[in-house]
Structure 1
Amino acid sequence: MKIKVGFGFDVHQLKDNHPFIVGGVKLDHHRGAFGHSDADVLAHAICDALLGAANLGDIGHHFKNTDERWRGISSLILLQKCVQLIGEKGYSVGNIDAMLCLEAPKIKPYIDEMRKNIAEAIGGDIEDISIKATTGETMGYVGREEGVVAYAVCLIQKQQA
């Protein structure tokens, strides 16, 4: 079996009275992430981790923010497309470990639903999806609630004859 590891990072600006979608879940908060798609920072970081592990570039290479096909699209659809891309190279997802960095809202009540959404999008098992969260301790753009950050690592695997 051949295995590879990928790393992903994403950041989005937060704006007042804007939807806040993370892991396919709409968070109850007065600010939300802004972007061309639904700005799901978690799904974007996972996409980059998967694409990087398979040496397929990054999310911007495949889903340009100038392409109207992707405007407002659910990032879970982009994640499904990334799994298809790595599948075309013979890989499947082993596991995903992700970290969200945001000051508010608290993420713990949403984590199980996020894990379920990500698992469904990749066609995997919820037990292979780990999502954690931390704050910026009121420091920097995360601490001032100006932005949200996500990091992700993944393992992809290919059966070899």
Structure 2
Amino acid sequence: MSYRIGSGIDFHQLVEGRDLWIGGVRIPHHKGALGHSDADVLLHAVCDALLGALALGDIGVHFPNNEDRFKDIDSKILLRECVRIITDKGYKVVNIDASLCLQEPKIKPYVPQMQEVIASICNIEIEDVSIKATTTEHMGFVGRGEGLTAQAVVLLQKV
């Protein structure tokens, strides 16, 4: 069997007047992520990891932020499309390991929902999706509540 590893990273600014979507779950907060789509930093990092594992570019190549059809799009749709792309190339997702970095809100209560959403879209078990979170101890743009970031690593297997 052939295996491929991919990594992805994404950053978004936090602003008033936007919903905060992380891992396909709406998180109650007074700020949301700014972006062309719904700005789901975690799903974007997973998309980049999936595409990167097969050297297929990044999310911006497949879903340009200057195309109206992707304006305010639900990032679960983007993740489904990335899974379709890797499936069409003869691969399946084995597991995902992701880390979120944000000062607030605390996302621990929402992690099981995020795992469920991602596992369902990627056709894997919930226990094959790891989501961790940390803060920057009030340092930098994340610590000041100006933004958030996510990193993801995926393992793909040739089927």
Query: For this structure pair, what is the TM-score category when the shorter chain's length is used for normalisation?
Result: over 0.9
1:140-159 paired onto structure 2 within 5 Å: 140-159=140-159
Q: What runs of 5+ residues in structure 2 fail to find an aligned partner?
A: none
1:32-67 CA deviation, whole Å, 9 max, x = no partner? 101011000000000000000011110000000011
Aligned residues: 159
Return the alpha-carbon distance in structure 2 between the equivalents of residues 94 and 123 of structure 1. 9
- Residue 56 of structure 2 corresponds to residue 56 of structure 1: yes
Return the alpha-carbon distance in structure 2 between the equivalents of residues 141 and 86 of structure 1. 34
Q: What runs of 5+ residues in structure 1 fail to find an aligned partner?
A: none
**Cα offset, 1:17, TM superposition:** 2.6
Return the alpha-carbon distance in structure 2 between the equivalents of residues 82 and 90 of structure 1. 13
SS in 2 for 1:131: strand
Return the alpha-carbon distance in structure 2 between the equivalents of residues 80 and 129 of structure 1. 16
Structure 1 residue runs of 4 or more that deviate by more than 6 Å after TM superposition: none
1:113-139 CA deviation, whole Å, 9 max, x = no partner? 000011111122111100000001000
Return the alpha-carbon distance in structure 1 between the equivalents of residues 10 and 44 of structure 2. 6
Identity %: 57
TM-score (norm 2): 0.98
What is the match of residue 129 of structure 1? Answer: 129
What is the match of residue 102 of structure 2? Answer: 102
What is the match of residue 117 of structure 1? Answer: 117
* Cα RMSD after superposing both structures: 0.7
1:141-161 CA deviation, whole Å, 9 max, x = no partner? 0000101100000000003xx
Return the alpha-carbon distance in structure 1 between the equivalents of residues 10 and 62 of structure 2. 15
